[in-house]
Amino acid sequence: MSKINVRSFSNENEDGAPDIVGITTFSATSYFVPTRGNTVERPSDHVEVGSLRYNYDTKNLEYYRGKTIGWSQFELIDPELGGRTESAYSATSSNDGGLGTRLLLAGGRISAPAFTDTIEYLTISTLGNTDDFGNLTQSHGNGSSQAGCASRTRGMWLSGQLGTSPSYSNVIQFVTFASIGNASDFGDINSARASTGNLSSQTRAIAFAGTLSDGSKPTQIDAVTIASTGNAFDFGDMSTWTGNTANLASSTRGIMAGGTVAPTRVNTIQFVTINSMGNTVDFGDLNVTGLASNLMYNGTGYSNSTRGIIHGGRDVNNNHMGKIQYITIATKGNSSEFGDTAVSASQQMGGSSPTRGVVAAGASPSATNAMEFVNIMSLGNASDFGDCTARDETLGGCSNGHGGL
């Protein structure tokens, strides 16, 4: 078997190939570039493990990992994370020169009813409790997304509720993952709101849904360029206002699963193309066997570059579902069963690395500070991770290893 070091692949017409930034080492026995418009299905039923394909829909190079997992995108090895993938971190000491993939948890309540301005963090590859990171510019809750809103270098929180009475914020705050310290002002979204849904790619963060202080529910989607401080710009609209969704992303697609179309619960999955402004599009439905209803809201979303996870949530009768579902982000369709949650909870916050997803806190049915995790590419039940300080459903989470990167 040969080892090929490459900077780019190209097809014979030089018009359909991906660019691979940096030097990548990959071993494979075969590869193919499917015809345009036929990226999902390979012409032959006999696909060898390690085969390569270029996906015209997602604009990514993918490799075949077998019938159970299917096609996966290549994961970037980022020098800002120590020059290693997440799996390498778990096998090395803290002296490897990288900070690892961090999950930041901000705001929320330590004791009711007041919100806190505390930011805490954990390293996703290492089980244990959270440590102090710094403080927000405002004490708030109900402000950020389950999916996380971050680039590899910056974590962000967009809007939020400022107190027990309906006092809402339009402020965007950010921190630098590598530098423990307090948040700084980034800019403003277009309207002050709480319970906003957020998701992001490496370059763009998106805020949607939420509730205004007068109780109205905007369909407008806001966006910011993560590397440049400033105010949000108009991205598009949700086809129907849907709140309390589970949100996640790949580098090209942002997914909103389940939620509330007041006053009913829904099982729909919607998506946007993150780098192309526009409205939401139908993706599929939540569909897990063994449940009385697949109508779900207040679930938690996280992902790697290929697989999206919808974790927990409440059903149409307001009961905690205790189920984990998954989708393949590049392929529209319904969800499948992944496993069971460790704690039956909803409104948890979380984030992910390329290999592991972690969720924290939430309502279970009372406030909890428990954290749990799954290995994203291995079907199974969640396991205990540790404890965080803040608790209940009002804190916001983001990570510098999620699937949008």
Paired residues of 76 in beta bridges: none
The predicted structure's pLDDT at residue 87: 39
29 phi-psi bin (left φ>0, alpha ψ -120 to 50, beta other): alpha
How many CB atoms lie under 10 A from the CB of residue 347?
A: 24
Residue 341 lies in a domain: yes
SS3 of 255, please?
A: strand
In a domain, 88, yes or no: no
| Burial (CB count within 10 angstroms: exposed 0-12, middle 13-18, buried 19+), residue 394 | buried
Question: Do 293 and 331 belong together in one domain?
Answer: yes
Asked if the structure places residue 367 within a domain, the reply is yes
Any idea what the CATH number is for the domain that residue 271 is in?
A: 2.120.10.80
User: Do residues 59 and 126 share a domain?
Assistant: no
Cα torsion 130, 136, 141, 142: sign: negative
**What amino acid is encoded at 313 in this protein?**
G
Q: Which residues, 6+ apart, have CB-to-CB distance to 378 below 8 Å? A: none
Supply the Cα-derived Rg of the chain in whole angstroms.
20
Written as six digits, the tokens of 99 are 């900070």
Q: Which of 73, 91, 112 is a domain's end point?
A: 73
Tally of domains within the chain: 2
In a domain, 299, yes or no: yes
Q: Check whether residue 64 and residue 137 sit in a common domain.
A: no
**What is the full per-residue pLDDT of the chain (405 aa) written as tens digits?**
444 454 444 444 444 444 444 444 555 555 555 544 444 444 445 778 888 887 766 667 778 877 766 777 765 544 334 444 433 333 333 333 356 899 999 887 766 667 788 899 999 999 999 999 999 988 776 544 444 589 999 999 988 777 666 688 888 999 999 999 999 999 999 988 888 889 999 999 999 998 888 889 999 999 999 999 999 999 999 999 999 899 999 999 999 999 999 788 999 999 999 989 999 999 999 987 767 677 888 889 999 999 999 998 888 888 888 899 999 999 999 999 999 999 887 778 889 999 999 999 887 777 788 999 999 999 999 999 999 987 766 778 899 999 888
Range of the domain at 60: 4-73
The CA-CA-CA angle for residues 161, 162, 167, to 5°, reads: 75
pLDDT of 69 reads 67
Q: Is 99 helix (H, G, I), strand (E, B) or coil?
A: coil
- Dihedrals phi, psi of 225, to nearest 5 degrees: -90, 115
Using alpha carbons, list the distances in angstroms from residue 394 to 19, 194, 201.
Answer: 41, 10, 23
Residue type, 63: Y
pLDDT at site 133: 96
Distance (Å, whole) CA 161 – CA 394: 9
Q: Are residues 221 and 284 in the same domain?
A: yes
Token duo for residue 95: 């002296």
**Phi/psi at 86 (nearest 5 deg)?**
-60, -35
> 226 lies in a domain?
yes
Number of H helices, E strands in the chain: 1, 31
- pLDDT for res 40: 47
Residue 42, domain member (yes or no) = yes
